[in-house]
Chains A and B, each alone.
Chain A
Amino acid sequence: MTTLEVRNLIKKFHGSERSAVNDISFELSEDEILALVGPSGCGKTTTLRLIAGLERPDSGLIRLNDRVVASDSVFVPPERRGVGMVFQDHALFPHLTVFENVAFGLRGKKPDEIRTTVGEMLHLVGLLPLSKRYPHALSGGERQRVALARALAPRPILLLMDEPFSSLDADLRTEVREHVRGILKSMRATVVFVTHDQDEALFMGDRLAVLNRGELEQIGTPEEIFHESNTRFVAEFMGDSDFLRGRVVAGGIQTEIGLLNQIVDLPVSTPVEIALRADDIDFEVDGSGNSLIVGRFFRGAFNLYRLRLNSGQILHAFTDHTKILPVGTRVQARVSAEHPLTVFSEYHTV
């Protein structure tokens, strides 16, 4: 069943040149976690705030459980949408205890019921013993979990999370996100999760939506996004790819490091770019080779080499950790990948 439907959403802020959100559409089914990912200013937080009702869209449609909450003629205020939200700064009410914070969204229920629900939620996030504390007496991770419990307590149709881990220390972050994903899955929550961190998006999302400059570049499973990038932006943003320029010829693509034996459906001599990850490249020492080693980074199990081609183009290559060559060595680089590579013409995949 579709929980959230977003159609042709557009939002432009006063005094800004381009739209913060430009014609975005997607759907989200029950129990699914969607990660909205993109660089800062890509419109992911605005999309989230539009769904929450904290911003009013210029045009477009938002439907929650088949009820229109925003359209050209309808605007349901946030308090009547039945969504929960976890804020980047957690936004715990400093004048209320942990218990009162979690109970805040349960107004109108019987006192018994409130006590039980709050107790359950705090137990779920492992903070039951701290229910009488005030937010200022909690650690960053604890605040994060109170914010989650508070958002989940009223059993929202949809949970929105705005960079919820960004205020935590890096070492704490990995631990907390595993814990949080476990809680969300055990509650069978439907979630839209915003982050600028690719790793976090790959980890949290059942599906990922990659946004750039207010537009939806690609939506799909983590595997699809990572291996079958639709656009050059997605390939660049999601994985550490180098882009090698080439030209379509009869037998494949002619590049600076040789002919790539991959047939593309484009007229001969069309300029293209090939996305190459470090495991797609290999090289041999060769005094008259096509590139120069300009850096080596030891990564434990392997070495990462940085190569500069004669044109100045930079490529990266993994080698065995025993293969150690000094900077300045001339080498012959070649494409070693045995799977088809992603090729872009004018930004889009071909």
Chain B
Amino acid sequence: MSISPRLAVAAGLVALFVAIPLVYIFIRAMGAEPEAWQRLLQTRLWKLLSNTLLLVVAVTSGALLTGVSMAWLTERTDLPGKKIFRWMLAMPLAVPAYIGGIVHLALLRPRGGVIPQFLESVFGQPVPTPSPLGFWGAAFILTLFMYPYVYLLSGAAFRTLHASLEEAARVFGRTPMQTLFHVTLPALRPGLTAGALLVALDILAEYGTVALLRYETFSSAIFVQLSGRYDRSAASVLSGILVALAIVILWGELRLQGQARFTQMESAWRPAPLVTLDRWRVPAFLLVLGVVSASLLVPFTVLLIWSIEAFLDPQAMTVLFRTGSQGFGSYVWNSLWSTSAAAVIAVALSLPVALLAVRYPSRFSRFISRLCQVGYAIPGVVIALSLVLLVNRFLPFLYATPFVVVIAYVLRHMPQAVRASESALNQLSPSLEEASRTLGRTSLQTLIQVTLPLILPGLLAGGSLVFLTSLKELPATLLLRPAGFDTLAVRVWVWAGEGFYLQAAPAALLLVLASALPLSFLLRREQIFK
């Protein structure tokens, strides 16, 4: 079909909307006073850079190691209880890393943590325990809540890998272990690399956990400049560097996207035979149980216990259920409407982009599609900074309204909607749309009567992803929200920061449960669990 100019213009406008905040950050970074650059270069820049990169490398490797080994154990061995483990290993995606961090910090804090106190009361003297603070703590906590990305990708790859590939390796004289390392893992490499790069991007953007565990990275430094010292030119410079770093990673990820699969499901596909663990059964079981406990069971149980305690505690109850704009109901409502609005807007905006990219592939449409995925590379703090500056200057009437928060969610999570819409359209044969045209429908009627009903499940999946990630978004919400606009995430953060764990727990628990719902829809849809 020949390209429709209306569609190209619509997609171009979406790309422009997405690109403006990014471009503006670079303009501000370049335009910052030379002293600001000087000051940062002399003092903090190198420390921040090494801190950030160190964390990125540590968490990415940790997530790869954990994710791949968990996927291998649950997909390719006779591990006991693997069906339920498959679910539980994916569910930490519903737990925001900072909430996991809050729980682990409360349990392990060197002074006053639950476990050190317990040990002291048993042994009568302080027992040294590992501290969750600083680099190792941050790396540990983030690995716990980031590995599911890699786990899901490698699990899917393990499942679709053709059995004959491994059988061929065996026939040519490789042992099962050699086969794993010489054939299976290399075959999964493109998918794994893509997963690892996504984890790296998330770490660059992570604010809550690193701030909580007092490990300074670019994101947390920008946040401090913005909220505390209010030094916008320093924040701009740091943001420019951070985004440049992230774009390099995103560029690699986008390049991998098209070629992310060596393996394909064929009609003659059959699952590979399972590896028998024998005497490793028990250690393997304990290992998986350990990961599931630390990332899911412990945080969930602790939140549950705290919530019950909160309901039994009259003082906490009065704080929670204050009426009006300060009550629990209003936090829930704020969270729900802002994230739902972001999901709907992001999916709607992704449609023209995806239609253009999938139905009219060209250099131009590919450029537009990639531009719309740049949100992956703009951390929440940077989006907040850019929007503060832009709205102040050009749209002052929007300043300090919840709509700016919604725009931030849309910008940040648009890539997920674009990818979901593109993959839904890719699965729809263009001949269906052509059939509708030859049967007398215009292109717009075809879109409404044929294309949209058929890609709706894919659009819902994209919307769920945007909803899920916006719900737990923290830094942009904290920086952009008008006074009094509290979401669940904000309340959890503020209360936990002030040490009111009991008050924070019900909100955190609700946040986790509300995230688990769209997540299980997504997992079921991707047929990850049969």
Give the interface of A toward B (CB within 8 A). 14, 52-56, 77-81, 83-85, 87-89, 91, 93-95, 104-105, 107, 150-151, 154, 160
Contacts and interface: CB of A to CB of B under 8 A. Distances in A.
A4 B125 CA distance: 98
B438 A83 contact: yes
Contact of B442 (A55, A79, A104, A160): A79
Residue of A55, A79, A95, A154 with most chain B CB atoms under a 10 A cut-off: A79
- The 5 closest A-B CB pairs, nearest first, are A105-B439, A91-B431, A78-B437, A91-B435, A85-B438
Given A54-B1, A93-B432, A14 B362 contact: yes
B440 interface: yes
A154 B440 contact: yes
Interface string B413-452: 0000000000000000101101111111111010000100
Nearest to B1: A54
Contacts of A105: 439-440
A104 B454 contact: no
A89 B434 CA distance: 12
Given A54-B1, A55-B1, A91-B432, A104 B439 contact: yes
Given A85-B434, A89-B431, A56 B2 contact: yes
B362 A78 contact: no
B453 interface: yes
Contacts of A91: 429, 431-432, 434-435
B431 A88 contact: yes
B2 A95 contact: no
Nearest to B439: A105
Given A78-B438, A151-B438, A151-B439, 8 more contacts: A52-B434, A55-B1, A56-B2, A79-B442, A79-B445, A93-B432, A105-B440, A107-B440
21 contacts: A54-B1, A54-B437, A77-B442, A77-B443, A78-B438, A80-B440, A84-B438, A84-B439, A87-B431, A87-B434, A87-B435, A89-B431, A91-B434, A95-B454, A104-B439, A105-B439, A105-B440, A107-B440, A150-B439, A154-B439, A160-B438
Contacts of A83: 438
Contacts of B362: 14
A131 to B, nearest CB: 17
Contacts of B437: 53-54, 77-79
A129 B443 CA distance: 33
Contacts of B435: 85, 87, 91, 93, 150
A14 B2 CA distance: 11
Residue of B439, B440, B445 with most chain A CB atoms under a 10 A cut-off: B439
Secondary structure call for the A interface: loop
A101 to B, nearest CB: 9
A84 B439 CA distance: 7
Nearest to B435: A91
Interface of B: 1-2, 362, 429, 431-432, 434-443, 445, 450, 453-454
A54 B436 CA distance: 11
Contacts of A151: 438-439
Contacts of A154: 439-440
B451 to A, nearest CB: 11
Contacts of A55: 1-2
Contact of B434 (A56, A78, A104): A78
Contacts of A81: 438
A72 B441 CA distance: 24
A290 to B, nearest CB: 49
Contacts of A87: 431, 434-435
A52 B2 CA distance: 13
Contact of B441 (A79, A84, A85, A88): A79
Contacts of B431: 87-89, 91
Contacts of B450: 93
Nearest to A156: B438
Nearest to A103: B439
Residue of B2, B436, B438, B442 with most chain A CB atoms under a 10 A cut-off: B438
B425 to A, nearest CB: 15
Nearest to B456: A95
A109 B440 CA distance: 13
Nearest to B428: A94
A102 to B, nearest CB: 10
A160 B435 CA distance: 11
A56 B360 CA distance: 14
B441 A94 contact: no
A107 B450 CA distance: 14
A80 B441 CA distance: 9
A56 to B, nearest CB: 4
Given A55-B2, A78-B434, A95-B453, A89 B429 contact: yes
Nearest to B445: A79
A122 B437 CA distance: 22
Contacts of B454: 93-95
Nearest to A14: B362
A94 B429 CA distance: 11
A154 to B, nearest CB: 7
Contacts of A93: 432, 435-436, 450, 454
A34 to B, nearest CB: 18
A95 B432 CA distance: 11
Contacts of B2: 55-56
A286 B443 CA distance: 72
Contacts of B438: 52-54, 78-79, 81, 83-85, 151, 160
Contact of B436 (A56, A104, A160): A104
A141 to B, nearest CB: 19
A78 B438 CA distance: 5
A207 B439 CA distance: 27
A93 B429 CA distance: 10
A107 B1 CA distance: 23
Contacts of B434: 52, 54, 78, 85, 87, 91
A78 B437 CA distance: 6
A39 B187 CA distance: 36
B360 to A, nearest CB: 10
B429 to A, nearest CB: 6
Contacts of B440: 79-80, 105, 107, 154
